[in-house]
Structure 1
């Protein structure tokens, strides 16, 4: 059974990753590090969940390094928005900086598998700042040399966010409608947050066992419909 550490547990996808981890019989212990307590921790007692809550993100790395036992799998669904960060420069500094810093701390602590929630179109060479930032995070994490790195690149993430994003909500409504007509109209460009969460957990556990596709022994990238297929695996 695996010990897992997770950052981003209070976000749209991260909260579903946490739920999937807690319900998975292959997971022994889950440690979360976040600015506020994840919903799962406040909803009721959780025997295998330990949380560390602090607004001071400079403490997160040392907390991760001090976990005992060390997590075999480290997962990140951590992200912020340009608006919340106060501009793209700060968004890049926070999202890129913290993701890479904590990935390094996890590697140094002995984590074997790293699972990152990235985004469709991520590329360090992209002309789109957001996609370029996501690509830079991917490249810098891969360079850390985990035994296996898993990168999920969902398209539009459908589901309900706590924060209001009217334009995105409209697109999510279209995705939901398309999915009800036929899954083929949606699956390639939009995936539900709970599905992404299940896929991330399944991928992490499979990677820990070495059960990865041929040619993906070091870095396994999962996109589009493959995310949905992975979520449906037992």
Structure 2
């Protein structure tokens, strides 16, 4: 059985990750650290969920380090936007800085498996700032040396966002239409947020048990059809 810590649990994918964790019988405890109360925690109390809500992200690493028992899995779905951050420089400081700080705190606490929601095309050598940032986060996390690191690289994330992003919403409509015609027209470049979430949880549980594909013992990367596949896997654990 697994104890899991999560950041980013109020976002589009993260909120589904939290729901998936709570419904998975292989997960015994979930600790969520966020700036606001996750939607799932504002309703009926969840017996295995502990929420730490603090608007000062500088305190988050301390919260994570003090969790008892130490989470076997740490999942980060944390991200921000250039607009919300007030420019790319601030976005980089927030998104890259907090992700690495929290990953380091998890590793130092003894967490074995780390799961990161990244992005399709992430590349530290890219000339595109956003893609380069995602690639640098991936590389810096891998350098921390978790026993097992799982990186999900979804394409367009389909589903509903709280904030308005008109251009993105238009592309999501295209993805929805393509999926209705045939899943093969959509799955390679767009995945539903709840599908990504289930894949993240299932892959994290498998990584904790060492049940990973050959050649992916240290770092396991899932993209496109792999995300679809592992969203449907039975990830029951015996620990």
Pair in the same fold by TM > 0.5: yes
Please say if 1:214 is aligned against 2:214. yes
What does 1:189-208 align with in structure 2 at a 5 Å threshold?
189-208=189-208
| SS of corresponding position for 2:42 | helix
Alpha-carbon separation, structure 2, partners of 1:97 and 1:175: 32
Which position in structure 1 is the counterpart of 2:37?
37
What does 1:36-55 align with in structure 2 at a 5 Å threshold?
36-55=36-55
Which position in structure 2 is the counterpart of 1:165?
165
Number of matched pairs: 234
Please tell me the root mean square deviation across aligned C-alpha atoms, in Å.
Answer: 0.4
What does 1:36-185 align with in structure 2 at a 5 Å threshold?
36-185=36-185
Alpha-carbon separation, structure 2, partners of 1:135 and 1:185: 27
Alpha-carbon separation, structure 2, partners of 1:222 and 1:232: 14
Q: How far has the Cα of 1:4 moved from its partner?
A: 0.2
Which position in structure 2 is the counterpart of 1:8?
8
Alpha-carbon separation, structure 1, partners of 2:110 and 2:38: 25
Task: List gaps (5 residues or longer) in structure 1.
Answer: none
Q: How far has the Cα of 1:134 moved from its partner?
A: 0.2
Segments of 4+ moved more than 3 angstroms:
none
| SS of corresponding position for 1:133 | helix
Alpha-carbon separation, structure 1, partners of 2:214 and 2:135: 23
Alpha-carbon separation, structure 2, partners of 1:231 and 1:148: 19
Alpha-carbon separation, structure 2, partners of 1:81 and 1:46: 30
Alpha-carbon separation, structure 2, partners of 1:27 and 1:165: 34
| SS of corresponding position for 1:43 | coil
Which position in structure 1 is the counterpart of 2:237?
none
Alpha-carbon separation, structure 2, partners of 1:7 and 1:43: 19
Alpha-carbon separation, structure 1, partners of 2:88 and 2:24: 37
Q: How far has the Cα of 1:43 moved from its partner?
A: 1.8
Q: Deviations over 1:180-230 (max 9, x none)?
A: 000000000000000000000000000000000000000000000110000
Alpha-carbon separation, structure 2, partners of 1:203 and 1:53: 26
Q: Deviations over 1:116-166 (max 9, x none)?
A: 000000010111100000000000000000000000000000000000000
